[in-house]
Structure 1
Amino acid sequence: MDFDLTSRKLQSVQYQNIVDKKTSVNEQKDNATSFQDQLTKLHKSYKEELSFSKHAAKRLEERHIEMNDSLMDNLQSAVEEARKKGARDVAVIGRQGIFIVNVPNNVVVTTMAEDDMKNKTLTNIDSAVFM
């Protein structure tokens, strides 16, 4: 019985190439899963940030309410508190004015400055949070 050393090495190399390819494919799958996880996290974080409707943005400008990082953080925290309590439409009341927020969609629907609160009536809200 002849034993061909060259043939045996060739088979070994071919087998190793197959194993390497499988490992490479598995690594790609892991990277794809990792990418999908990152994309999901990014989407969730984007969804968690408050946005302003066109109407609310217009009201901010008309009422000279300046949004800064501190106010945005306080507003976001107030909305998160309301979310924990099950609120859907919340009035967030602060020194700068009142922000009406649709909690499930994370959208500031409108804003009111102190001057706008003459009739002192808010409708279509289920919660209020002071910030």
Structure 2
Amino acid sequence: MGYRVVNGKVYPIGNFPQSNDLNQKSSKDTFSKFEEILKSEINKKDNFTISNHAAKRLEDRNIKLTEADISHINEGINMADEKGSKDSLILYKDVALVTSIKNRTIITAVNKSEAKGNVFTNIDSVVIL
């Protein structure tokens, strides 16, 4: 006959104490929290944020982004993220978007014509879509 030690107590094999409901509840709570975190991480890959500054610049320059545009920009953010970029310049159609890849946020937006002659600093990559 064999024995096992569980929490400092010796039990014959096959005669383990039953777990109480409190431990089962905390295990279920832990799983549901994990599930929530997992879902939020998966959803991060499907969306991004446009800062107030970028939204105002897009509006002032009469630039409207369609669902297809947003999808393409999101793909660009995902590509930069896969390569390990932190801050990136995304060139899409006639717009240059300075983007924080880490925060998945578009920081500012500039028309292509306005971007000429400007210097973009503190970026580590460029994504051309």
Q: Calculate the TM-score normalised by the size of structure 2.
A: 0.71
User: CA RMSD of the aligned region, Å?
Assistant: 2.3
Letter in 1 for 2:41: K
Deviations 1:47-88 (A, max 9, x none): 443101111111111111112221111111111111122211
Alpha-carbon distance in 2 for matches of 1:30, 1:125: 43
Letter in 2 for 1:31: K
Matched residue, 2:29: 32
Matched residue, 2:85: 87
Structure 1: which 5+ residue stretches go unaligned? Answer: 1-18
Cα offset, 1:38, TM superposition: 2.4
Go from structure 1 to structure 2 and tell me whether the alpha carbon gap of 1:104 and 1:117 turns closer, same or farther (over 3 Å shift).
same
Q: Secondary structure of 2:35's match? A: helix
* Higher mean C-alpha deviation, range 116-125 or range 62-71: 116-125
- Tell whether the 8 Å contact from 1:65 to 1:96 is kept in structure 2 after alignment: no
Q: Which has the higher strand share?
A: 2
Q: Which has the higher helix share?
A: 1
Residue 109 (structure 1) aligned to one of 91, 107, 110:
107
- Ranges of 4+ aligned residues in structure 1 off by more than 3 Å: 24-31, 45-48
State the identity %.
Answer: 23
Query: Which of these two proteins has the greater Rg computed from alpha carbons?
Result: 1
Structure 2: which 5+ residue stretches go unaligned? Answer: 1-17
